[in-house]
Amino acid sequence: MTEFKAWLLAENPDSRAQATLGRSYLAWLRFYRNPLAMIGLVIVVALILMALFAPYIAPYGMTSGLTGNELALQRFQPPSAAHWFGTDGQANDVFSRIVIGSRITLLIVAIVIFTAPILGFVIGTVSGYFGGWVDGVLMRLTDIFLAFPKLVLALALAAAMGRGLESAIFAIAVTSWPAYARLARAETLTIRNTDYLAAAKLQGASHWRLITGHIMPLCLSSLIVRVTLDMAGIILTAAGLGFLGLGAQPPIPEWGAMIAEGRDYILSYWWLATFPGLAIFTVALGFNLLGDGLRDVLDPKSGA
Amino acid sequence: MTDHQEQAVIAVKDLAIYFGRGEHQVKAVDQVSFAIPPRQSFGLVGESGSGKSTILRALAGLDHVDQGQLLLDGEPLQIKRTKAFYKKVQMVFQDPYASLHPRHTVDKILAEPLAIHGFKDIEQRIIKVMDQVALPHKFRFRYPHQLSGGQRQRVAIARALILEPEILLLDEPTSALDVSIQAEVLNLLNRLRAELSLTYVLVSHDLAVVSYMCERVAVMQQGKLVELLQVDQDGKTYPKQAYTKQLNLASQGYDRARIEQFIDHD
Amino acid sequence: MVNQATKAPLLAVNNLNIRFPSVHGAVHAVRDVSFTMGREKVAIVGESGSGKSQTGRAILGLSPGQVSADSLIFDGIDLQRLSSKAYREIRGKRISMVMQDPKYSLNPVMSIGKQMIEACQIQMKVSKKQALARCMQMLEAVRIRQPQRVFKAYPHEVSGGMGQRIMIAMMLLSSPDLLIADEPTSALDVTVQLQILAIMDDLVQDTGMGLILISHDLPLVASFCDRILVMYAGRIVEELDASKLDQAQHPYTRGLLSCLPSHATKGQPLATLERQDSWLDEALENRGLRV
Ligand SMILES: Nc1ncnc2c1ncn2[C@@H]1O[C@H](COP(=O)(O)OP(=O)(O)OP(=O)(O)O)[C@@H](O)[C@H]1O
Ligand SMILES: Nc1ncnc2c1ncn2[C@@H]1O[C@H](COP(=O)(O)OP(=O)(O)OP(=O)(O)O)[C@@H](O)[C@H]1O
Ligand SMILES: [Mg+2]
Ligand SMILES: [Mg+2]
């Protein structure tokens, strides 16, 4: 193990892979020494594991399937050994629903991560790199999207496309890319006049190579940090849409929708809204802590 | 004269480059002409902001040209430079801290031009060029921030050399380096020029460096070429223009009385 | 303004050490550096990486490393005891530093004028109009042609030497008591270089400013400064009167002098420096610090 460490930290690595690994290891060390960031990482990893193994973790199904007398007996049970987080009006186990609902939260996060930031990133770097009319057109477009209040546009879209998880995700993605485009463009502007970019041009590098090989790697770290920090907001927006009845529809156990269902009983059956609320809070906090930690690690000014 | 022009690898004819519009327009380069025969080392000195870097950047295709012509081997250069051009002409920038990509290892920096130009023997070429610039192999997988200023400038020179160009444009290659490392880099440049029959265009504000390195020197001021000087065997020049004489005087060190007599040559 | 009643030095540095902890073990960048200076021109020379810039930054309280010193006293103020707020009051107003790498120190997406006015307002608490006038005045003082145009330009639109002069102008806005200039003129042509040094010289003569000039131009420093400190591998290996540079004792200083192209014959390779580990120990012996 110590040998491996020495190999990783070698001042004169022998291969490309060793240099890259060594650099990553140093970044990991810095991250590892930051306790809050580690808490964030643990929460996010726990969320992923929970979503992956949801059917094995959840003691009951998504719905109880009970009717009649059974339903009347089992519904609105307070937290107990049998139902850790109690049961709701349909006698569904709240704990199981939260566990299964983590898949939906993760799905939203994953889809948003693979759409909005990537779109914004490409638009921003291209716009900043070429400048001139390309920049003008792309940035006006960005401005238009930026001018809409996020939630209102999401509401309009969700209303237009019909209620449902898909339209909620689409609405979130469409409203969040402009911020990333702005960020990527601002970073690109600070890079586009540097000598190392001029040097790469003088090697005959194409625009495509310059953008993907030279500009993007430098903008990537601030983008990752920003996306991680935004994740909390995205989860909250999704929950908000669910809460307003525009996102996932019952009986899908989306956390926001669960709070909405529990809202009517908040005084008599406190656990219905409280536990999904705590789940949202914990995951949002986790992403925020992770983002802060990543900022310290990935910030180009922090050396390494 | 025409004969001389035909031999020149680089010729600049009535070059003019302007920036901005209206009252704030700058004539960064104003009607400059010179020609450089093969294997010569040509110096550019002059006032700060007089357009030296701009001329180099225009030659490299990084800045626009408003008037005049740039000729390479007698052929006018097109606005869009070809890959063949970049194989022939390379540039080393002034600041070794700013001219290397912070997230690329030395290996990647050197491999990239080879990949762009479709070379196969990448391994051998990297090893060879690192030997040429006397950069120990152990630095190959380091990042720029792990190198000293002199080592970085050697990486930059290696990057310029790896495509085996015939012409190197050098923009103050040693002004960010201390004298001991400057000596190493200048020796290296002289050795490479002899070994590889290179042609240099060297921008510097250090007259001692230019007269040590170059056979001919152009003196610039406010975008204009003031004087073309021949450097003799002993590294001496015999300027005629008042501005050049003042420059020579100034390079002799700080002397209050002398500075008071400096005039702005407008 | 000038502290003539007390003969106390303007700056006294005693056993300054700077370390950079890292996974490869700590880098000891500055080792037991001590010097005192009055309102005079002191040069620090030495090769790249010898700790010149870090020494300057430590005086400003801006070193990223671990700084320790027996004492760091500026004009009777113990710099090590200052709160960060009090330090900010001193920094920029009473002690200024012209950083190496002007283009790194300027914000690439903000016009030069905007940055200068901002700096001016922070340092001097004046109105925008007064700040503008002062900035223009300083740009002219550092011999920038067309200051109006440069004022509106972005950092990539000015030449290397102009960038350096802009940084100098910014640091002189508030007439500091101590100016630390880190290779302020390395990208300037010789004429302008001397003119800029003359401005600093005037400030030393007239307002009693102290100047620390970090440079690797030995002949220039010898003709301009009063004293020269030579640093090697984090230590001060030699302290000389500027006029006696040619009598330097240390092999490192002598080696530096022999590297100069002005001392070389055309066609012959330049002498290069063969560094020796023993220089480190000699430095300790000379100062009687060897245990
Ligand atoms: N992109 C640009 N936009 C506007 N003006 C520019 C631009 N590039 C250069 N200039 C102007 O052109 C003039 C010449 O600049 P250049 O960089 O060629 O000077 P230089 O001779 O290299 O000076 P130095 O020795 O200080 O580096 C300067 O006045 C500068 O402000
Ligand atoms: N942030 C940092 N982390 C680790 N080491 C550092 C850091 N900054 C500087 N150093 C090290 O401290 C030493 C002194 O650096 P310093 O910048 O003072 O050198 P210098 O004398 O100013 O050199 P130059 O003439 O190249 O500017 C160097 O060996 C450098 O590698
Ligand atoms: Mg220049
Ligand atoms: Mg320094």
> Does the ipTM exceed 0.90?
no
Q: From the CA of C58, how far away is ligand 4's center (Å)?
A: 12
Query: Does residue C159 sit at the B interface (CB-CB below 8 Å)?
Result: yes
A221 CA: distance to closest CA in chain B (Å): 11
Structure tokens at A51: 């979503």
In 3-state terms chain B splits into helix, strand, coil percentages (rounded to 5) of 40, 25, 40
Q: What strand order describes the sheet that includes C178-182?
A: C95-98, C178-182, C210-214, C41-46, C227-232, C235-241
| Ligand 1 atom nearest C150 alpha carbon | 31
CATH of domain B2-265: 3.40.50.300
Determine contact, residues A215/A130, Cβ cutoff 8 Å. no
pLDDT higher at C102 or C132: C132
Q: Which residues of B touch C260 (CB under 8 A)?
A: 179, 208
Nearest by CB to A196, which of B57, B91, B99? B99
Q: Using a CB–CB cutoff of 8 Å, tell me whether B190 touches chain C.
A: yes
* Tokens linked to A206: 């194409």
What is the rounded distance in angstroms from the CA atom of residue C30 to the CA atom of residue B191?
35
Q: Is the CB of C161 under 6 A from ligand 1?
A: yes
**Which pLDDT does position A299 carry in this prediction?**
64
> Contact at 8 Å (CB) between B66 and B17?
yes
Widest CA span in chain B: 62
pLDDT at B5: 46
Distance from residue B58's CA to the centre of ligand 1 (Å): 12
Q: Strand pairing partners for B12?
A: B34, B70
Cβ(C177)–Cβ(C75) below 8 Å: yes
Residue in B27, B29, B54 to alter for ligand 1 test, most ligand atoms within 8 A of Cβ? B54
Structure tokens at B125: 């070429």
Min Cα separation C287/chain B (Å)? 25
Residues of C in contact with B213 (CB under 8 A): 261
Does C162 contact ligand 1 (Cβ within 6 A)?
yes
* pLDDT value at residue A65: 76
Q: Is the Cβ atom of B28 under 6 angstroms away from ligand 1?
A: yes
The alpha-helical segments, DSSP class H, found in chain B are 2-7, 52-60, 83-88, 106-116, 122-132, 149-161, 179-196, 207-213, 242-250, 256-260
DSSP B77: P
Q: Compare all CA atoms of chain B with the CA of C214 and give the residue at the minimum distance.
A: B178
Q: Do A189 and C109 touch (CB under 8 A)?
A: yes
Q: What's the gap in Å between the CA of B164 and the closest CA on chain C?
A: 23
Name the residue ranges covered by the structural domains of chain B: 2-265
Record: contact C156-A11, CB cut-off 8 A: no
DSSP C138: H
Give me the pLDDT at residue C103, please. 67
Superfamily classification of domain C4-93+217-286 = P-loop containing nucleotide triphosphate hydrolases (3.40.50.300)
Per residue in C95-118, pLDDT (tens digit) is 999 887 766 778 888 899 999 998
**Where along chain A do its domains lie?**
42-69+81-298
Taking the CA of residue C158 as reference, the ligand 1 atom at the shortest distance is: 31
Facing B183 at nearest CB: one of C49, C222, C270: C270
Q: Are the Cβ atoms of B250 and C191 closer than 8 angstroms?
A: yes
Nearest C-alpha in B relative to C197: B254
Q: Are C204 and C40 in contact (CB under 8 A)?
A: yes
CB-CB under 8 Å, C108 with A190: yes
Q: Is B21 close to ligand 1, i.e. is its CB under 6 Å away?
A: no
Ligand nearest to the CA of C150: 1
Residue of C nearest to B234 (CA): C266
Query: Ligand 3: distance of its center to the CA of B44 in Å?
Result: 11
Instruction: Please provide residue A89's backbone torsions phi and psi, each rounded to the nearest 5 degrees.
Output: -65, -20
Q: Which chains touch B (3 or more CB pairs under 8 A)?
A: A, C
Tell me the chain B residues in contact with residue A202 when contact means C-beta distances shorter than 8 Å: 60-62, 86, 90-91
**Which atom belonging to ligand 1 lies closest to the Cα atom of C162?**
26
Residue C149 Cβ inside 6 Å of ligand 1? The answer reads no
Beta-carbon separation of B113 and A14 below 8 A: no
Domain A42-69+81-298 adopts which CATH fold? MetI-like fold (1.10.3720)
Q: Are B189 and B15 in contact (CB under 8 A)?
A: no
Question: Is residue C283 very low, low, confident or very high in pLDDT (cuts 50, 70, 90)?
Answer: low
Q: Angle C276-C281-C283 (CA atoms, 0-180°, nearest 5)?
A: 95
Per the CB < 8 A criterion, the answer to whether C194 and C174 are in contact is: no
pLDDT score recorded for residue B201: 96
Question: What is the Å distance from ligand 1's center to B256 Cα?
Answer: 29
For the Cβ of B250 lying below 6 angstroms from any atom of ligand 1, the answer is no
* CB within 8 Å: B95 and A195: yes
CA distance A256 to A245: 9
**pLDDT at C282 (0 to 100):** 58
Res C6 pLDDT > 70: no
Local structure of residue A211 (DSSP, 8 states): I
pLDDT digits (tens), chain B, 266 positions: 444 545 789 999 999 999 988 888 889 999 999 999 999 999 999 888 899 999 999 999 999 999 999 999 988 998 888 889 999 999 999 888 789 998 899 999 999 999 999 998 999 999 999 988 888 888 888 888 878 777 888 899 999 999 989 999 999 888 877 788 888 889 989 999 999 999 999 999 888 889 899 999 999 999 999 999 998 888 788 888 888 888 888 888 888 888 877 777 66
CA of B14 to the centre of ligand 3 (A): 20
CB-based contacts of B80, cutoff 8 Å, min separation 6:
B61
> How much is the CA Rg of chain A, to the nearest whole Å?
23
Ligand lying closest to the C-alpha of residue C30: 2
What stretch of H or E contains B183?
helix B179-196
- A91 or C206, which is more confident: C206
The answer to whether the beta carbons of residues B63 and B19 sit under 8 Å apart is no
Q: What are the angstrom distances between the C-alpha of C146 and each of A151, A236, A267, C149, C158?
A: 50, 54, 73, 6, 12
Task: For residue B97, give the nearest of A137, A120, C99, C139 by alpha carbon.
Answer: C99
Q: How many Å apart are CA A122 and CA C97, to the nearest integer? A: 39
C224–B48 C-beta distance less than 8 A: no
Atom of ligand 2 nearest to the CA of C46: 21
Query: Which amino acids bring their CB within 6 angstroms of ligand 2?
Result: A 303; B 149, 178; C 20, 27, 29, 46, 48-54, 64, 100
Tell me, what's the pLDDT at C3?
44
- Chain C residue set in contact with A, beta carbons under 8 Å: 23-24, 108-109, 156
DSSP H helices, C14-99, are: 52-59, 84-90
From chain C, the residues in CB contact with B172 under 8 A are: 160, 187
Give tens-digit pLDDT for B195-253: 999 999 999 988 888 989 999 999 999 999 999 999 888 878 888 888 888 888 888 88
Give the nearest chain C residue to B49 (CA atoms): C159
| pLDDT values of chain A reduced to their tens digit, one per residue, 304 residues | 678 888 887 777 888 888 888 888 888 888 888 898 999 999 999 999 999 998 898 888 877 777 778 777 788 888 888 888 888 877 888 899 999 999 988 888 889 888 999 999 999 999 999 999 999 999 999 998 888 776 787 778 777 887 778 888 888 888 889 999 999 999 999 898 888 999 999 999 999 999 999 999 889 888 888 888 888 788 888 888 878 877 777 778 888 888 888 888 888 888 888 999 999 899 989 998 998 888 878 764 544 3
- Best of B63, B80, B95, B103 to disrupt the A interface by mutation (most A CBs within 10 Å)? B103
Q: Take atom 17 of ligand 1 and give the residue whose Cα is closest.
A: C159
Angstroms from B265 CA to nearest CA on chain A: 31
Q: What distance in angstroms lies between residue B28's CA and the mean position of ligand 3's atoms?
A: 11
